[in-house]
Chain A
């Protein structure tokens, strides 16, 4: 097949870097409100009916939303195999916890209301809480660690060796980014509940969401300053062949500069953090006084800004190594082959528009608020 030469290798790498971002942002925007809603569940809903209302706002859509995550994992495997190998095996126990959360959450949605016992239901409610809050926190912690660089190296045969421990992941900077992620997704969940519920649940969601939004904005600002002043950045020492073989050991990397260098090299990327702040501030305003659908949109915009600010700051790095910088993974040396990237792009171009189309159709069918009357009237069909 010569078709794949139509798009150059380096361009395909950049496209797949963007698509990776799209998938992670898609995940944070959709499954993000599921996680936020789960984390809010015990606090915004007190009676059983109220809890069922909250659960049923995400009931029909969580499965589709979770696929963003699964597809994200699949895309990393297919397009960035070294990233997949290093991060999943390196963050081993953290990954296991995320996995447990993603297993328990679907089951909790599906099984919770299948038995009337209050103890049964309460146990699943807490499972939903943990299944939402814990991964939201861990994803943020992971981002913090990636910005700092991760202790790993590659052997000459490219076997990844992770040198850190689980507890090493829980450093102060990473914990801060974890808090940013958790509070941002709680705000997002609140924006969702603001749209999908009414009455007491809605007003509680607004209250919690406002606090969470404030924490997210302050945390994001502090993390930004911390990163600028105290976190080592990484840089490529020599120019690299952007269409060379995917072997991370071929490039030389220096550690010790500042990530802020990216902002002098590519000033336009400042748009991302601005969008992050603007989106979250407007969502905060919306949660106190504004429209319901627009608040959710602002919150999504905030997520888009925050997540893309991380990626743009680090470009071309995707996973720097703190102990042996030369092993760092970059866009130019950690991708799949030219052909695989091309084949995957064709598949994405065909299926992604279809996915967006039918997902929007499903959301439009389910448009409207979920009320206590709905839940009481449809005891059998709803969760």
Chain B
């Protein structure tokens, strides 16, 4: 791979986005888990729940701050590294980002400080309200970001304006209620809930293995496994796939995930395993499960899912149509307001395919001079690399299934089997702490790597989206990020481990008050003074 500005910009974006997404899922889920714990504390007045809120809240805080800090990079990066993208689609893409700030990020960031500093300054109910506002803010944040991202995958509610050389919004409603964005939102936040649940479960299991903080750990497992199981089921049932029949690129992505080279008669089979070969357009050693793919992809037995070859053929037509639009656009650019009406009409008729003509810019400056062979190459470029898609999807789904099993097992044991967790199960829970992160990163790869060669599907190729920068500038910032982020990661992990090892802080005065108040009830219930320690 040649290290040009496009490749380096992509590398930098992938690096910083994958890094940012180490912190986001935990924030999404843990904010809600903490708010649930605090709700129980306010409702029951049992100090153990306050202790839980504070303990998981501390870990939430350590993670939250890096999510915020690395999120700023994401926002800056569009302007810094993707200037033409920012110009070309800012009119549509910028709006959800700005609304995210107004509606969601302001909320979570303003109240998160009060969550940590307000324990003695607020009444219980007010503090609980603050905790929920942080959780709601975080989750709304995800909504708007995914509306922006969903538009890149499936651009609706916008059209190209030749006078301003960019995409402009035609319907805010369509942008917000984009089916791909909605599916992504549910899928992503659910994945975040699973991440947090697996994290709480794993850490609690570690305490149980050590025989420490047993009361806190058991209650945490109860909350985490029930919340997590519901979320894990939602990730699968309301999976991202529901959006994959929406647009051309989404269909191509689905075909790549399945390594489905040719269109199969409906309902298509699902390839469980195989070694995709891009050159030969076939999958070696494929193991098929009949019908499953057709069911997942179309929710029907009769609808066909197009294969890669068929999609490439369609895209070749799009390139040719895009060239007509491009030719008209050049006339419009020269003549501006004096453009003849028939040129305008021609442009309108083909403007939806304009982006496909831009694919040729990789091969020559003026797409109008393209040969047949170059047009075929451009159409071929619309196929993402199949094997990374094929495998990251399978790893993600496999892990997703395993979360259902683990969370389900702990849910059943906690609810119906008196919390008698066998040690092997606890060990598995600890070992699986990193797994949701792997699944989430794989999900990012499927969604965004699978979007290539486009930044905005069918509208703007990645190669055209970059800023006018030098390779040196990019290498400098990539090196900067690599060093800087590595240090932060080590610091963060160090603090997380330190605070997990340290365990919860006992709130002696609150506990004593509660003990004094409930002494009578506790004594008569068991017949003697309760055995548990000050944490209770």
Mark A residues whose CB is within 8 Å of B.
1, 59-64, 66-67, 69-71, 73-79, 81-82, 84-89, 92-93, 95-96, 99-100, 102-104, 106-107, 109-111, 114-115, 156-162, 245-247, 250, 336-337, 339-340, 343-344, 347-348, 351-352, 355, 358-359, 362, 365-366, 378, 380-382
Contact = CB atoms under 8 A, between A and B. Distances in A.
A103 B99 CA distance: 22
Contact of A107 (B84, B106, B172, B488): B488
Contacts, number: 244
B484 A110 contact: no
Interface in B440-490: 467-469, 473, 476-477, 480, 484, 488
Contacts of A347: 98-99, 102-103
Contacts of A103: 69-70, 72-73, 484, 488
Interface stretch (B162-170, B256-264, B411-419, B429-437): B162-170
Given A67-B105, A103-B73, A351-B102, A88 B79 contact: yes
Contact of A74 (B101, B172, B477): B101
17 contacts: A60-B116, A70-B75, A74-B97, A78-B90, A85-B79, A85-B467, A87-B79, A95-B76, A107-B488, A107-B491, A114-B62, A158-B166, A246-B164, A339-B172, A340-B172, A359-B106, A362-B111
B42 interface: no
Contact of B87 (A85, A348, A351): A85
Contacts of B87: 81-82, 85, 158-160
A106 B163 contact: no
A96 B480 contact: yes
Q: Taking each of A61, A85, A362, A365, which has the highest tally of chain B beta carbons within 10 Å of its own beta carbon?
A: A85
A111 B121 contact: no
Contact of B116 (A159, A352, A381): A381
Nearest to A162: B468
Given A77-B90, A85-B83, A343-B95, A355 B106 contact: yes
A137 B495 CA distance: 32
Contact of B468 (A74, A99, A161): A161
Query: Which residue of A88, A100, A359 has the most chain B CB atoms within 10 A of its CB atom?
Result: A88
Contacts of B336: 250
Contacts of A378: 120
A64 B90 contact: no
B48 to A, nearest CB: 18
Interface string B257-277: 000000000000000000000
B118 interface: yes
A343 B118 CA distance: 35
Given A1-B173, A348-B102, 20 more contacts: A60-B113, A75-B101, A79-B94, A81-B91, A84-B79, A84-B90, A84-B94, A85-B90, A88-B80, A92-B467, A96-B476, A103-B484, A107-B488, A114-B499, A159-B83, A344-B99, A358-B111, A362-B114, A378-B120, A381-B119
B309 interface: no
B300 interface: no
Chief secondary structure at chain A's binding surface: helix
Given A103-B72, A339-B170, A348-B102, A362 B110 contact: yes
B100 interface: yes
Contact of B106 (A71, A159, A161): A71
B333 interface: yes
Interface residues of B, number: 76
A116 to B, nearest CB: 11
Contacts of A336: 90-91, 94-95, 168
B76 A73 contact: yes
A344 B468 contact: no
A63 B98 contact: no
A85 B78 CA distance: 8
B72 A99 contact: yes
A157 B166 CA distance: 9
B296 interface: no
Given A78-B95, A337-B168, A247 B163 contact: yes
Given A64-B109, A82-B87, A365-B114, A89 B467 contact: yes
B405 interface: no
B112 interface: yes
A86 B122 CA distance: 46
Given A84-B86, A107-B66, A340 B168 contact: yes
